Amino acid sequence: MTTRGVSGWIEDSDKTLAAYLIHWTQSSKEHDANFDLIFGKWGDEATPNDRSVASFAYRSSENSFMVIDSCTRPAGQSNQVASFPLTRDEIVGTPLAPYLFGLLDAIWLQDPRITGIRSDA
């Protein structure tokens, strides 16, 4: 099996909203694709203390995303880019959830490098 990983930025005009990391196993419905969003303040004055990590598993068998605890992911275990790995409970049912799912939608619809994940669905 081949694993793939891509990263990118989500920007609105000249403002960076988030960075993202995606990791998946090609042609495998047994393995979830993992999406990590690193969001918060970016720029020369920003530090990891200005950013959080939210993590999601895409389940191709269900064609849906599930919020997972970021501390289980490498992006949430490193404090070099973001200091605050969020738990599932800190996202689900909060005002933050629609914002984060909006970022996921932007990636899902606009990043051509993840076509393989979408076609596996």
For the segment 9-41, what is each residue's pLDDT rounded down to a tens digit? 999 998 999 999 999 987 666 778 999 999 999
CA separation for the pair 47, 27 (Å, rounded): 37
Instruction: Give residue 120's pLDDT.
Output: 53
Matching residue, tokens 């990391």: 21
pLDDT digits (tens, 9 = 90+) for 65-110: 999 999 999 999 988 899 999 999 999 999 999 999 999 999 999 9
pTM beyond 0.85: yes
For the chain, the domains span 3-112
CA separation for the pair 111, 33 (Å, rounded): 14
Q: Taking Cα atoms as reference points, which of 34, 23, 75 lies closest to residue 51?
A: 75
